């Protein structure tokens, strides 16, 4: 108990200190002169030499210099960092859909390592790691004040080997997990036609809804989404649920292409850099691949960056209804700047804004309809202790199986949930499908009214024409 208390104090001390700092008025940045910069760089070189010569053990110069560069970039924001040759290569491999590890997206959060989200069907996802969890120890070693790359390297390893993580959830619960490393193959887009829970899938009148799950925004996401929508349109679905829950983001260009797939016009996103002139606006091209059908975008607090661009674009253009819970709130754009020797700088170059001009940095996207994930709890036991069978000397049912036989049959029935059963337990998904059907019905009524109004107008015009001819 004491150990957990000390752990929580250590975890949240940086946040308390940061809150106190924010209360003070931020002091303006005082830029150094060229001469002052030169003197500071000389001091940096002096620190390096003194440390290398006087450290009690043999110093690793490369490690020291990389740490200095990481510290320099980390002072800017949590997303800027130095990428060694291995880091840069891994980043490129990961962006193209396959890499090794646990399948977990993390960020540096005031000295702690915080989970943005686990990737679908990976060791981290299967172990129950959630968005918002904090990783405090890796293989028993504290991770406080490690750089993001250092934390990632500790979790990486040969596929099949194990790593132990200590996790603190948002509600303060501490748990130790042992995960087996694996080759992570990210399938960016999954899709299928779904029906409401308890609906008869064989009934021709049962509404079919196109379900599109995007787990991250990679190099092939736009192409995969186009194929998904073409396939679902052939099946004549009534509308779409676009699920970007626990999607940590990815390529900005992929987010733009995904938004454009559902939009026929309008602004998608604007990015604004350091200078007032560094403003770029991206607009949708004609062509809605979903043919104007209702779209519900599902988000939660694990939806970040590119996911928020898509949700904001469809929300602000009135093209889709956003459901779920408040998103993560990462409104910055990063870019890799190669240094010519296989290394690179991963640095924040701009902020992005939704079509309405809203920055979601530290705020997130607010859903049009808030639906928190819930579960159905069974309140009644399958068998009661009090029944006719509980009475002494009660008559037996000669046709019933023995209790032991019945229990064995029940044990045999216990198995992993089917996809349909998982869907039925996904409260947010069920409510999203409800909303798609409701939106489709409202649109049908609106279209019918528009058609009736047009007919009425045509009749009135015809009557006016006839009266004019009669007067003549």
Catalytic residue annotation: 305, 316, 330
Report residue 120 as tokens. Answer: 């679908």
Q: Is residue 430 classed as helix, strand or coil in its secondary structure? A: helix
Please provide the DSSP assignment of 392-414 as one string: TTPPP-TTSPPHHHHHHHHHHH-
Query: For the chain, how big is the Rg over CA atoms in Å?
Result: 29
Strands 240-243, 209-214: pairing is: parallel
What percent helix, strand, coil does the chain show, rounded to 5? 40, 20, 40
Helix (H) / strand (E) element for 212: namely strand 209-214
H-only helix segments in 24-57: 34-54
Enumerate the H helices of 75-116 as residue ranges. 85-95
Residues 236, 224: Cα–Cα separation, whole Å: 19
For residues 301 and 325, give the distance between their C-alpha atoms in angstroms, rounded to a whole number: 6
Helix crossing, 221-234 with 252-262: angle to 10°? Answer: 20
Which residue's structure tokens are 């977990």?
104
Phi, psi (deg, nearest 5) at residue 325: -125, 170
Q: Which residue has the tokens 């003194």?
A: 50
d(C-alpha 432, C-alpha 20), whole Å: 40
Kindly report the length of the chain.
472
d(CA 153, CA 143): 12
């Amino acid at each position: 108990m004491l150990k957990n208390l000390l752990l929580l104090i250590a975890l949240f001390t940086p946040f308390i200190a940061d809150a106190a700092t924010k209360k003070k008025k931020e002091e303006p940045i005082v830029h150094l002169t060229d001469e002052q910069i030169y003197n500071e760089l000389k001091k940096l070189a002096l620190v390096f030499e003194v440390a290398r010569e006087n450290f009690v053990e043999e110093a690793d110069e490369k490690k020291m210099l990389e740490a200095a560069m990481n510290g320099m970039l980390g002072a800017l924001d949590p997303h800027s960092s130095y990428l060694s040759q291995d880091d840069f290569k891994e980043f490129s491999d990961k962006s193209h859909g396959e890499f090794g590890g646990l399948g977990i997206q993390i960020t540096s959060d005031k000295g702690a390592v915080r989970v943005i989200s686990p990737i679908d069907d990976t060791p981290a996802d299967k172990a129950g790691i959630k968005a918002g969890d904090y990783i405090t120890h890796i293989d028993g070693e504290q991770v406080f004040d490690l750089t993001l790359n250092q934390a990632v390297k500790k979790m990486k390893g040969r596929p099949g080997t194990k790593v132990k993580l200590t996790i603190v959830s948002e509600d303060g619960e501490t748990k130790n997990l042992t995960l087996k490393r694996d080759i992570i193959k990210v399938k960016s887009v999954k899709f299928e036609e779904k029906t409401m829970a308890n609906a008869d899938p064989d009934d021709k009148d049962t509404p079919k809804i196109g379900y599109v799950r995007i787990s991250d925004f990679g190099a092939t996401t736009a192409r995969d989404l186009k194929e998904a929508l073409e396939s679902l349109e052939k099946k004549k679905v009534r509308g779409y649920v676009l699920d970007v829950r626990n999607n940590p983001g990815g390529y900005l260009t992929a987010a733009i292409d995904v938004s454009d797939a559902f939009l026929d016009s309008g602004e998608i996103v604007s990015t604004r850099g350091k200078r007032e002139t560094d403003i770029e606006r991206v607009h949708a091209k004609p062509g809605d691949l979903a043919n104007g059908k209702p779209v519900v975008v599902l988000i939660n607090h694990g939806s970040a960056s590119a996911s928020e661009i898509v949700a904001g674009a469809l929300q602000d253009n009135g093209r889709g209804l956003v459901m779920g819970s408040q998103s993560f709130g990462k409104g910055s754009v990063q870019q890799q700047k190669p240094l010519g020797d296989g290394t690179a700088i991963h640095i924040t170059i701009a902020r992005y804004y939704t079509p309405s001009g809203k920055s979601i940095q530290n705020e997130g996207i607010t859903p049009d309809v808030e639906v928190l994930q819930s579960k159905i709890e069974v309140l009644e036991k399958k068998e009661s202790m009090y029944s006719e069978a509980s009475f002494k000397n009660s008559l037996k049912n000669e046709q019933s199986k023995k209790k032991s036989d019945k229990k064995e049959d029940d044990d045999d029935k216990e198995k992993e949930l089917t996809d349909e059963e998982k869907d039925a337990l996904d409260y947010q998904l069920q409510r999203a499908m409800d909303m798609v059907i409701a939106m489709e019905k409202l649109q049908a009524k609106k279209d019918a009214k528009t058609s009736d109004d047009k007919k009425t107008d045509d009749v009135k015009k015809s009557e006016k024409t006839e009266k004019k001819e009669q007067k003549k």
